[in-house]
Amino acid sequence: MPTIAIVGAGRGLGAAVAHEFATHGYDVALISRTQGHVDALAADVRTVGVDARGFAADARDPHQLAAALDSAATQLGTIEVLQYSPVPQRDFMKPVLETTADDLVAPVEQSVYGPVTAVQQVLPGMRSTGRGTIVLVNGGSAVRPGPNVAGTSVAFAAESAYGQLLHDALAPEGIHVGQLIIPRGIGAGEPSHEPAALAARIWAMHRDRGEFRTFAAELD
Protein backbone atom coordinates (compact mmCIF):
# COMPACT_ATOMS: atom_id res chain seq x y z
CA MET A 1 0.00 0.00 0.00
CA PRO A 2 1.13 3.61 -0.52
CA THR A 3 1.85 5.68 2.59
CA ILE A 4 1.01 9.24 3.61
CA ALA A 5 2.96 10.97 6.38
CA ILE A 6 1.23 13.82 8.21
CA VAL A 7 3.56 16.13 10.13
CA GLY A 8 1.69 18.05 12.80
CA ALA A 9 -1.12 15.51 13.04
CA GLY A 10 -3.95 16.57 15.34
CA ARG A 11 -7.54 15.65 16.03
CA GLY A 12 -8.85 18.15 13.50
CA LEU A 13 -7.28 18.40 10.06
CA GLY A 14 -4.65 15.71 10.59
CA ALA A 15 -7.19 13.11 11.65
CA ALA A 16 -9.53 14.06 8.81
CA VAL A 17 -6.77 13.77 6.19
CA ALA A 18 -5.67 10.46 7.67
CA HIS A 19 -9.20 9.06 7.31
CA GLU A 20 -9.61 10.53 3.81
CA PHE A 21 -6.46 8.88 2.52
CA ALA A 22 -7.13 5.67 4.43
CA THR A 23 -10.44 5.29 2.59
CA HIS A 24 -8.39 5.41 -0.63
CA GLY A 25 -6.12 2.62 0.57
CA TYR A 26 -3.22 4.57 2.06
CA ASP A 27 -1.32 3.52 5.15
CA VAL A 28 -0.80 6.45 7.48
CA ALA A 29 2.11 7.79 9.51
CA LEU A 30 1.03 10.38 12.07
CA ILE A 31 3.73 12.65 13.49
CA SER A 32 3.45 15.11 16.36
CA ARG A 33 5.27 15.90 19.58
CA THR A 34 3.34 13.53 21.89
CA GLN A 35 3.54 9.77 21.35
CA GLY A 36 0.33 8.99 23.19
CA HIS A 37 -1.55 11.51 21.11
CA VAL A 38 -0.51 10.08 17.75
CA ASP A 39 -0.92 6.51 19.00
CA ALA A 40 -4.56 7.26 19.78
CA LEU A 41 -5.10 8.82 16.36
CA ALA A 42 -3.44 5.84 14.68
CA ALA A 43 -5.65 3.37 16.53
CA ASP A 44 -8.72 5.21 15.25
CA VAL A 45 -7.45 5.25 11.66
CA ARG A 46 -6.74 1.51 11.76
CA THR A 47 -10.48 0.88 12.09
CA VAL A 48 -10.71 1.80 8.39
CA GLY A 49 -8.67 -1.30 7.58
CA VAL A 50 -5.24 0.15 6.83
CA ASP A 51 -2.05 0.27 8.85
CA ALA A 52 -1.54 3.48 10.80
CA ARG A 53 1.21 4.29 13.26
CA GLY A 54 2.25 7.23 15.40
CA PHE A 55 5.72 8.73 15.62
CA ALA A 56 6.78 11.39 18.12
CA ALA A 57 8.82 14.33 16.87
CA ASP A 58 8.95 18.09 17.27
CA ALA A 59 8.78 19.65 13.79
CA ARG A 60 11.24 22.31 15.00
CA ASP A 61 13.90 19.65 15.73
CA PRO A 62 15.46 18.46 12.46
CA HIS A 63 16.98 15.34 14.01
CA GLN A 64 13.71 14.23 15.62
CA LEU A 65 11.72 14.93 12.47
CA ALA A 66 14.12 13.13 10.16
CA ALA A 67 14.25 10.14 12.50
CA ALA A 68 10.45 9.95 12.70
CA LEU A 69 10.07 10.02 8.92
CA ASP A 70 12.81 7.43 8.53
CA SER A 71 11.04 5.14 11.01
CA ALA A 72 7.74 5.69 9.23
CA ALA A 73 9.22 4.70 5.86
CA THR A 74 10.92 1.67 7.40
CA GLN A 75 7.75 0.42 9.10
CA LEU A 76 5.11 1.39 6.53
CA GLY A 77 6.96 1.67 3.24
CA THR A 78 8.05 4.51 0.98
CA ILE A 79 6.22 7.75 1.75
CA GLU A 80 4.33 8.76 -1.38
CA VAL A 81 2.48 11.73 0.14
CA LEU A 82 3.84 14.20 2.69
CA GLN A 83 1.58 16.72 4.39
CA TYR A 84 3.35 19.38 6.45
CA SER A 85 0.84 21.17 8.68
CA PRO A 86 1.98 21.80 12.27
CA VAL A 87 -0.15 24.45 13.96
CA PRO A 88 1.69 27.70 14.76
CA GLN A 89 2.04 28.48 18.43
CA ARG A 90 0.21 31.49 19.81
CA ASP A 91 3.43 33.30 20.68
CA PHE A 92 4.39 33.31 16.98
CA MET A 93 1.69 35.89 16.45
CA LYS A 94 2.89 39.22 17.83
CA PRO A 95 2.37 42.66 16.28
CA VAL A 96 5.17 43.58 13.91
CA LEU A 97 6.50 46.48 16.03
CA GLU A 98 6.73 44.18 19.05
CA THR A 99 8.48 41.38 17.18
CA THR A 100 12.20 40.94 17.80
CA ALA A 101 14.73 38.83 15.95
CA ASP A 102 14.51 36.27 18.75
CA ASP A 103 10.75 36.07 18.27
CA LEU A 104 11.26 34.90 14.67
CA VAL A 105 13.51 31.97 15.54
CA ALA A 106 10.72 29.52 16.43
CA PRO A 107 8.42 30.39 13.49
CA VAL A 108 11.30 30.01 11.04
CA GLU A 109 12.36 26.72 12.63
CA GLN A 110 8.83 25.38 12.20
CA SER A 111 7.89 26.83 8.82
CA VAL A 112 11.24 26.79 7.00
CA TYR A 113 13.69 24.36 8.56
CA GLY A 114 10.91 21.85 9.27
CA PRO A 115 9.59 21.60 5.69
CA VAL A 116 13.11 21.50 4.26
CA THR A 117 14.04 18.68 6.64
CA ALA A 118 10.87 16.73 5.87
CA VAL A 119 11.18 17.12 2.11
CA GLN A 120 14.83 16.12 2.04
CA GLN A 121 13.96 13.03 4.06
CA VAL A 122 11.13 11.78 1.82
CA LEU A 123 12.37 12.96 -1.57
CA PRO A 124 14.74 10.06 -2.29
CA GLY A 125 11.90 7.59 -1.83
CA MET A 126 9.58 9.57 -4.07
CA ARG A 127 12.26 9.78 -6.73
CA SER A 128 12.86 6.05 -6.53
CA THR A 129 9.22 5.39 -7.42
CA GLY A 130 8.87 8.28 -9.86
CA ARG A 131 5.87 9.80 -8.11
CA GLY A 132 4.87 11.70 -5.00
CA THR A 133 2.93 14.62 -3.55
CA ILE A 134 4.02 17.22 -1.01
CA VAL A 135 1.31 19.41 0.53
CA LEU A 136 2.07 22.50 2.63
CA VAL A 137 -0.82 23.85 4.69
CA ASN A 138 -0.78 27.52 5.69
CA GLY A 139 -3.02 30.31 6.90
CA GLY A 140 -3.89 33.44 4.98
CA SER A 141 -0.87 35.34 6.29
CA ALA A 142 1.24 33.25 3.90
CA VAL A 143 -0.05 35.38 1.03
CA ARG A 144 -1.36 38.48 2.81
CA PRO A 145 0.91 39.54 5.70
CA GLY A 146 -0.92 40.53 8.87
CA PRO A 147 0.51 43.30 11.07
CA ASN A 148 -0.60 41.49 14.21
CA VAL A 149 0.84 38.10 13.21
CA ALA A 150 4.35 39.02 12.18
CA GLY A 151 5.91 35.66 13.01
CA THR A 152 3.64 33.59 10.80
CA SER A 153 3.59 36.26 8.11
CA VAL A 154 7.37 36.16 7.76
CA ALA A 155 7.81 32.41 8.18
CA PHE A 156 4.83 31.37 6.03
CA ALA A 157 6.06 33.66 3.24
CA ALA A 158 9.40 31.86 3.29
CA GLU A 159 7.64 28.48 3.32
CA SER A 160 5.55 29.59 0.36
CA ALA A 161 8.64 30.57 -1.61
CA TYR A 162 10.28 27.23 -0.84
CA GLY A 163 7.15 25.36 -1.89
CA GLN A 164 6.85 27.25 -5.17
CA LEU A 165 10.49 26.54 -5.97
CA LEU A 166 9.94 22.86 -5.23
CA HIS A 167 6.80 22.80 -7.38
CA ASP A 168 8.70 24.11 -10.38
CA ALA A 169 11.78 21.95 -9.84
CA LEU A 170 10.05 18.63 -9.14
CA ALA A 171 7.14 18.67 -11.61
CA PRO A 172 9.29 17.18 -14.42
CA GLU A 173 10.05 14.24 -12.12
CA GLY A 174 6.40 13.40 -11.52
CA ILE A 175 6.38 14.86 -8.00
CA HIS A 176 3.66 17.41 -7.27
CA VAL A 177 4.09 20.14 -4.67
CA GLY A 178 1.02 22.09 -3.60
CA GLN A 179 0.08 24.62 -0.96
CA LEU A 180 -3.35 24.87 0.64
CA ILE A 181 -4.17 28.29 2.05
CA ILE A 182 -6.88 28.31 4.74
CA PRO A 183 -7.97 31.90 5.38
CA ARG A 184 -9.42 32.59 8.83
CA GLY A 185 -8.36 29.21 10.17
CA ILE A 186 -9.81 25.72 10.34
CA GLY A 187 -13.48 25.65 11.23
CA ALA A 188 -14.35 29.32 11.66
CA GLY A 189 -18.01 28.49 11.05
CA GLU A 190 -17.45 28.01 7.33
CA PRO A 191 -18.38 24.65 5.74
CA SER A 192 -15.41 24.87 3.38
CA HIS A 193 -13.10 25.18 6.40
CA GLU A 194 -14.31 22.12 8.29
CA PRO A 195 -11.67 19.37 8.62
CA ALA A 196 -13.53 16.86 6.43
CA ALA A 197 -13.99 19.41 3.63
CA LEU A 198 -10.33 20.43 3.81
CA ALA A 199 -9.25 16.78 3.77
CA ALA A 200 -11.29 16.22 0.61
CA ARG A 201 -9.61 19.27 -0.92
CA ILE A 202 -6.17 17.89 -0.07
CA TRP A 203 -7.07 14.54 -1.64
CA ALA A 204 -8.15 16.40 -4.78
CA MET A 205 -4.84 18.31 -4.84
CA HIS A 206 -3.01 14.98 -4.74
CA ARG A 207 -5.26 13.39 -7.35
CA ASP A 208 -5.48 16.27 -9.80
CA ARG A 209 -1.91 17.63 -9.50
CA GLY A 210 -2.82 21.14 -10.61
CA GLU A 211 -1.34 24.53 -9.78
CA PHE A 212 0.91 25.14 -6.79
CA ARG A 213 -1.54 27.18 -4.68
CA THR A 214 -5.10 26.29 -3.72
CA PHE A 215 -7.39 28.42 -1.53
CA ALA A 216 -9.96 26.86 0.77
CA ALA A 217 -11.97 30.06 0.33
CA GLU A 218 -11.40 33.61 -0.85
CA LEU A 219 -9.34 35.95 1.29
CA ASP A 220 -11.23 38.72 3.05
Exposed, middle or buried: residue 151 (CB in 10 Å: 0-12, 13-18, 19+)? buried
Quick one: DSSP state of residue 12? T
Check: CB of residue 141 under 8 Å from CB of residue 90.
no
Task: Report d(CA 39, CA 31) in Å as an integer.
Answer: 9
pLDDT in tens, 132-184: 999 999 999 999 999 999 999 999 999 999 999 999 999 999 999 999 999 87
pLDDT in tens, 71-109: 999 999 999 999 999 998 887 789 999 999 999 999 999
* Coil, strand or helix at 137: strand
* pTM for the model: 0.95
Type of residue found at 178: G
Q: Which of 13-22, 89-98, 135-144, 185-194 has the least mean pLDDT?
A: 185-194
Residues 3-215, CATH architecture: 3-Layer(aba) Sandwich (3.40)
